[in-house]
Amino acid sequence: MTPLTCDDLTALLNDILNDEVELHVRAEVEIHLGICPHCGGLVAACRATITVTRALPTCEPPLPADLEARLRKRCGG
């Protein structure tokens, strides 16, 4: 199989981040990420971004008291 280029890797970025890389391409992706600091950094930074953004809903702040009061009134609560 032809080794992946940085452009190939970028095109596969979504699949890599979603863990949806096809089996026969996976080894080539790992090889490229191992030897290319730029692509390795890109994937690591994207993964870190996703990890911190996915944490948002787990720690949603409560609604401000005045907003909560308005919503309760609107819903008849």
Partner 1 sequence: MSTDGSPTALATEPPPTPEVVFREYAPRIYHLARRMLNNDADAEDVTGEVLMQVVRKLHTFRGDSSLPTWLHRVTVNAALAHREKRASRARHETATGDDSVFDSGPADPPGAVRLSRPKAHHTTADVVLAAEQRAVIEKAVARLSDQFRDVFVLADVEGLANTEIADVLGLSLSAVKSRLHRARLRMRELLAPHFDHPEGDDR
Binding site for partner 1 (CB under 8 A): 13-14, 17-18, 37-38, 40-42, 44-46, 48-63, 67-68, 70-72, 74-77
What does the alpha-carbon distance between residue 48 and residue 68 come to, in Å, rounded to a whole number?
Answer: 33
Determine the residue type at 12: L
Whichever of 7 and 60 has its CB closer to partner 1, that residue is: 60
Cβ atoms within 10 Å, residue 12: 21
The smaller minimum CB distance to partner 1, of residues 19 and 24, is found at 19
The DSSP letter of residue 1 is -
Residue 23 or 56: the one with the smaller Cβ distance to partner 1 is 56
Question: Of 44, 39, 56, 54, which is closest to residue 17 (Cα–Cα)?
Answer: 44
Instruction: Name the minimum Å distance from CB 26 to partner 1.
Output: 18
